[in-house]
Amino acid sequence: MKVEHFAKEVASILPHLIRGIAKNQNDALKKGTITFPQYLTLNVLSVQDTLKMKDIAAELNISLPATTGLIERLYSIKAIERIYDKNDRRVIYIKLTSKGKKIVKDVRLEREKGIIELFSKLTGKEREDYFNILKKITTGLYNNAL
């Protein structure tokens, strides 16, 4: 299959795959408790623990004003806390609260359930091949991030 044809087919099927995974879940995203960009922010913080605003913006590849808006909304629902630098009050660190950690954990568990349901139809070898391909693509995207 030529890569152009492959790209067209993947672009066509990917939205269906994503909707299929998310369809039967009952997580904070589906309930409207948080938005997908807010979840991505919480997820970044769950991996990195404490980050400066500019680092969150860089990690999400969004502007600092957009990051500020996300953080403000997450702060209003008590999912994150702000920690001011003792030496420079202009520097603000962002950290997950226990509520933020619970949101991330709950969403991940629901996503895992959806993935189990979807991928249980494949053989162990097919799942392993699929995972290896995803890992290879992700490593290429993030320059050996995995």
* pTM (two decimals): 0.77
Q: Which domain holds residue 84?
A: 3-141
How many structural domains compose the chain?
A: 1
In a 3-state reduction of DSSP, which class is residue 92? Answer: strand
Is residue 95 included in any domain, yes or no? Answer: yes
Q: Which of 77, 66, 16 shows the shortest CA–CA distance to 37?
A: 66
Is residue 110 included in any domain, yes or no? Answer: yes
Is residue 27 included in any domain, yes or no? Answer: yes
Is residue 14 included in any domain, yes or no? Answer: yes
**Edge-to-edge strand ranges of the sheet holding 50-52:** 50-52, 92-96, 80-84
d(CA 34, CA 99): 12
Is residue 61 included in any domain, yes or no? Answer: yes
Q: Please report, for residues 33, 49, 71, 100, 102, the alpha-carbon distance to residue 27 in angstroms, rounded to integers and kept in the order given.
A: 9, 22, 20, 13, 11
Is residue 121 included in any domain, yes or no? Answer: yes
What was the pLDDT predicted at 24?
Answer: 65
Q: From first to last of its 146 residues, what are the pLDDT tens digits of the chain?
A: 899 998 999 899 888 877 777 676 666 677 778 888 999 999 999 998 899 999 999 999 999 999 999 999 999 999 999 999 889 888 889 999 999 999 999 988 888 888 888 889 999 999 999 999 989 988 887 765 55
Say which CATH number the domain at 99 has: 1.10.10.10
Is residue 44 included in any domain, yes or no? Answer: yes
d(CA 91, CA 77): 22
Is residue 146 included in any domain, yes or no? Answer: no
